[in-house]
Amino acid sequence: MHETMVAENLIAVITNEAAKRNVKPIGAKISCGKLYAINDEALRFAFEAIAKGTPCEGLKLEIEHKPIRARCKKCNETFEADISNPKCPKCKGNDFELLPDAPLLLEEIEF
């Protein structure tokens, strides 16, 4: 399962950072693009299961989904693409391309 792999990687990184500082992590914030198929519930579930017995046990995980961005082909404006009503906020054109989805990032760790 995709989320299990993500959770494993997160725990490895957080545990490593916590060990360097010799403290216990209490929270972490990650972000990823909307198209990045992360299911919050599945990730939290996998994280809790894998974190058992590690310094990450009981850690509060915050997941932020970044909006999809697009670039207008007419005026080159980049904007947040509203899938229900996609158009350029500057020239009102609807000829645009979607930009690559934001990667999964570990934004911060709270100790």
Residue written as tokens 């403290």? 23
Binding test (CB under 5 A) with Zn ion, winner from 35, 75, 83, 98? 75
Strand segments (E) across the chain: 27-33, 60-66, 69-72, 78-80, 96-98, 105-110
CB of 20 to Zn ion, least distance (A): 46
By CB under 5 A, residue 35 contacts Zn ion: no
Whole-angstrom Cα distance, residue 31 to residue 41? 15
Whole-angstrom Cα distance, residue 22 to residue 47? 21
CB of 101 to Zn ion, least distance (A): 21
Are the beta carbons of 6 and 77 closer than 8 angstroms? no
Nearer to Zn ion, 11 or 72 (CB): 72
**Site map 53..72 versus Zn ion, x via CB under 5 A:** -------------------x
Query: Stretches 21-29, 38-46, 59-67, 75-83: which one binds Zn ion (CB under 5 A)?
Result: 75-83
User: Rule CB under 5 A: which residues touch Zn ion?
Assistant: 72, 74-75, 77, 88, 90-91, 93
